[in-house]
């Protein structure tokens, strides 16, 4: 498979994003040879975002006034949790518009922990099945069919619950994009637990 | 507990370190209110390290000729895997000397995946029980009592196997430093799998 043929995934990060959820997603998607771009929402003069427990990550792109978000090409978008990060992603009009149009065009929109709040604000798949971290349940259950499974897939929307479900979340995205064989191939060397 | 009383942990990162193992360790130790310093081994003019799957992390300190490693105060050291990163940590004389003196003075030395190779080169706990990623087994089994448990504790040396055992690894360090109650307290909100 050449680089041109590789499927592409955007992973959004902002100040306050949960670093385990972001990094487990990025790493596992790259192990599957997906082309992952880490897209940061940060002040124009900052070269990194500071995640929820202080890990500083340098994104591949930083969205600012000078950045044309519409030029991004992708097959799936991932929104990690971390309440402050998820709120930033929920309140950025360009990112919200990208999420909504991605879902309308049949692309995968995936979110974990508090990340599903950004799916709600983008008005995606209302009435469908969703899950999230328990702290975000009250904000979601009135407008969605709220589930407590560790990962929920409904109409190209993949949602999950927290750092401890992040491996399962990322592997589910891999399976949806590339199939079960690729998921199994990359699972073995990671020495996963018997249940995820 | 005031800041002065907090136990301190160093987490080493270098180009090629496994980012999930580094970030899961840093995040979970900080959730336990341990004071974690991310210590990078990088070229003097670089502000970040590039991990094994391309995640760029800005360390809290960067070790270079100008940095006096002996001024670091800590209760435990963590060495993540990623073969290239582990080799850099194994071949840095200052870091090797720090690891050896840490173990001699009864501090915890913890390593995961290929990280235990840096324990061997530092001549720590030879003949004792150890584990690692399966790819590093051949390099360790002649000089250690090699185990295949997901986490092994022997004589203040904590070792583990890969990204999928990183939660268990980090929680074990928390329990050794702060007790089981703290481990249980931080486990619940992470929505961990039923087995780790």
Give the pLDDT confidence of B149-187 residue by residue, as tens digits: 999 999 999 999 999 999 999 999 999 999 999 999 999
Packing angle between helix B166-178 and helix B19-31, nearest 10 degrees?
A: 30
Confidence category of residue B72, pLDDT binned at 50, 70, 90: confident
Nearest to B23 among A23, A28, A161 (CB): A23
pLDDT at residue B3 greater than cutoff 60 = no
pLDDT at residue A59 greater than cutoff 80 = yes
A68 vs B149, higher pLDDT? B149
Q: Which pLDDT score is estimated for A66?
A: 64
**Average pLDDT over chain B, rounded to an integer:** 95
Q: Which pLDDT score is estimated for A45?
A: 83
- The stretch B76-105 carries a mean pLDDT of 96
d(CA A143, CA A163): 24
Which tokens is A63 given?
Answer: 């969205």
- The stretch B141-150 carries a mean pLDDT of 98
Confidence category of residue B43, pLDDT binned at 50, 70, 90: confident
Which tokens is B127 given?
Answer: 């003949």
Which candidate, B10, B163, B183, places its Cα nearest to that of B98? Answer: B10
pLDDT at residue B9 greater than cutoff 90 = yes
Sign of CA dihedral A100, A106, A107, A109: positive
Q: Which pLDDT score is estimated for A44?
A: 74
pLDDT at residue B96 greater than cutoff 90 = yes
Q: A131 CA to chain B: closest CA distance, Å?
A: 12
Diameter over CA atoms, chain A:
46
Q: Which pLDDT score is estimated for A2?
A: 56
Q: Going by C-beta distance under 8 Å and a sequence separation of 6 or more, which residues neighbour residue A98?
A: A69, A70, A72, A77
Q: Give the Cβ contact number of residue A149 at 10 Å.
A: 13
pLDDT > 90 fraction of chain B, expressed in percent and rounded: 90
Q: Which pLDDT score is estimated for B66?
A: 64
Nearest to B20 among A23, A36, A150 (CB): A23
**DSSP string over chain A:** --GGGS-EEEEEEETT--HHHHHHHHHHHHHTT-EEEEEEE--TT-S-EE-TTS-EEE-SEEESTT--GGG---SEEEE---HHHHHHHHH-HHHHHHHHHHHHTT-EEEEETTTHHHHHHTT-STTSEE---GGGHHHHTTTSEE--SSEEEETTEEEE-SGGGHHHHHHHHHHHHH-HHHHHHHHGGGT--S--
Q: Which pLDDT score is estimated for A3?
A: 53
Confidence category of residue A65, pLDDT binned at 50, 70, 90: low
Which tokens is B101 given?
Answer: 């003196």
Q: Convert A92-105 to b/e letters by CB count within 10 Å (16 or more is b).
A: beebbebbbebbee
Three-state SS at B62: strand
Q: Which residue has the tokens 């992470």?
A: B190
Angle (nearest 5°) at CA A89 between A26 and B50: 30
Q: Which pLDDT score is estimated for B137?
A: 98
Chain A residue with minimal CA distance to B196?
A193
pLDDT at residue B120 greater than cutoff 90 = yes
Q: Which of B48, B163, B167 to mutate to test the interface with A (most CBs of A within 10 A)?
A: B163
ipTM above 0.95, yes or no: yes
Confidence category of residue B48, pLDDT binned at 50, 70, 90: very high
**Average pLDDT over chain A, rounded to an integer:** 95
Chain A residues with beta carbon closer than 8 angstroms to that of B36: 54
Confidence category of residue B2, pLDDT binned at 50, 70, 90: low
Q: Which pLDDT score is estimated for A67?
A: 72
Angle (nearest 5°) at CA A31 between B121 and A10: 125
pLDDT at residue B1 greater than cutoff 70 = no
Nearest to B20 among A27, A161, A194 (CB): A27
B66 vs A44, higher pLDDT? A44
Chain A residues with beta carbon closer than 8 angstroms to that of B162: 189-191
- The stretch B101-124 carries a mean pLDDT of 98
Q: Which pLDDT score is estimated for A13?
A: 98
Q: Which pLDDT score is estimated for B70?
A: 79
- The stretch B1-22 carries a mean pLDDT of 89
**Beta carbons of B48 and A53 less than 8 Å apart:** no
Residue B70 DSSP symbol: G
Is A98 within 8 Å of A117 (Cβ atoms)?
no
Q: Which pLDDT score is estimated for B26?
A: 98
Q: Which pLDDT score is estimated for A71?
A: 83
pLDDT > 70 fraction of chain B, expressed in percent and rounded: 97
- The stretch B122-146 carries a mean pLDDT of 98
Q: What is the pTM of this model?
A: 0.97
Q: Which pLDDT score is estimated for B4?
A: 59
Q: Which pLDDT score is estimated for B65?
A: 60
Q: Which pLDDT score is estimated for B58?
A: 97
């Amino acid at each position: 498979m050449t680089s041109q043929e590789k499927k592409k995934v955007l992973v959004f990060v902002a100040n306050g994003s949960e670093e385990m959820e972001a990094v487990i997603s990025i790493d596992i998607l790259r192990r599957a040879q997906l082309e992952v771009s880490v897209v940061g929402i940060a002040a124009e003069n900052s070269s990194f975002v500071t995640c929820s427990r202080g890990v500083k990550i340098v994104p591949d792109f930083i969205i600012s006034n000078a950045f044309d978000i519409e030029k991004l090409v992708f097959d799936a978008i991932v929104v990690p949790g971390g309440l402050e990060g998820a709120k930033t992603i929920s309140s950025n009009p360009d990112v919200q518009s990208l999420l909504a149009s991605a879902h309308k065009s049949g692309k995968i929109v995936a979110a974990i922990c508090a990340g599903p709040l950004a799916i709600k604000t983008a008005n995606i798949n209302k009435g469908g099945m969703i899950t999230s971290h328990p702290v975000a349940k009250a904000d979601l259950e009135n407008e969605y069919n709220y589930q407590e499974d560790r990962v929920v897939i409904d109409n190209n929307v993949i949602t999950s619950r927290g750092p401890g479900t992040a491996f399962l979340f990322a592997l589910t995205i891999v399976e949806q994009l590339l199939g079960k064989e690729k998921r199994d191939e990359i699972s073995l060397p990671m020495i996963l637990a018997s249940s995820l």
